[in-house]
Amino acid sequence: MKRYLGSRKKLKIYIDSDDSFQGEALWQLILKEAKAYGLAGATVYKAVAGMGAHSELRTFNVWSLSQKLPLIIEMIDSEAKIRGFLAQIEPKLSEALVTLEDVEVLLYKHPKFAQ
């Protein structure tokens, strides 16, 4: 759909897989709020390993019942929508790294948008 093409912003939110807000998994809450806010889309990536501010290496361990792995939530939309959405969810992020990048959307196809 042409309205999604062109210069956009990519928001990345780095959190841990076990982060939560008021008993709900934080990544699920962020996705629900992104949909309700009307963002074009969002994707959650689960890392197999990572190290952050605590300098603690976190890796997948088949023997561990509890896994604390890095997650990256990525969204692309207009700068105004991204910044508005971030302002809405920022109070729910107790520990996170958030980045914003320029991107150029060249193609966005889906049968839902067929003419």
* Distance separating alpha carbons of residues 89 and 85, to the nearest angstrom: 6
Task: Note the pLDDT tens digit of each residue in 51-97.
Answer: 666 666 666 555 455 567 889 999 999 999 999 999 999 999 999 99
CATH number at residue 31: 3.30.70.120
Task: Note the pLDDT tens digit of each residue in 91-115.
Answer: 999 999 999 999 999 988 877 766 5
Give kind and range of the element (H or E) at residue 81.
helix 79-89
* Distance separating alpha carbons of residues 106 and 4, to the nearest angstrom: 9
* Distance separating alpha carbons of residues 26 and 32, to the nearest angstrom: 10
Find the domain containing 26 and state its range.
11-99
5 within some domain: no
First and final C-alpha spacing in the chain: 9
111 within some domain: no
Task: Note the pLDDT tens digit of each residue in 6-51.
Answer: 999 999 999 998 999 999 999 999 999 999 999 988 999 988 766 6
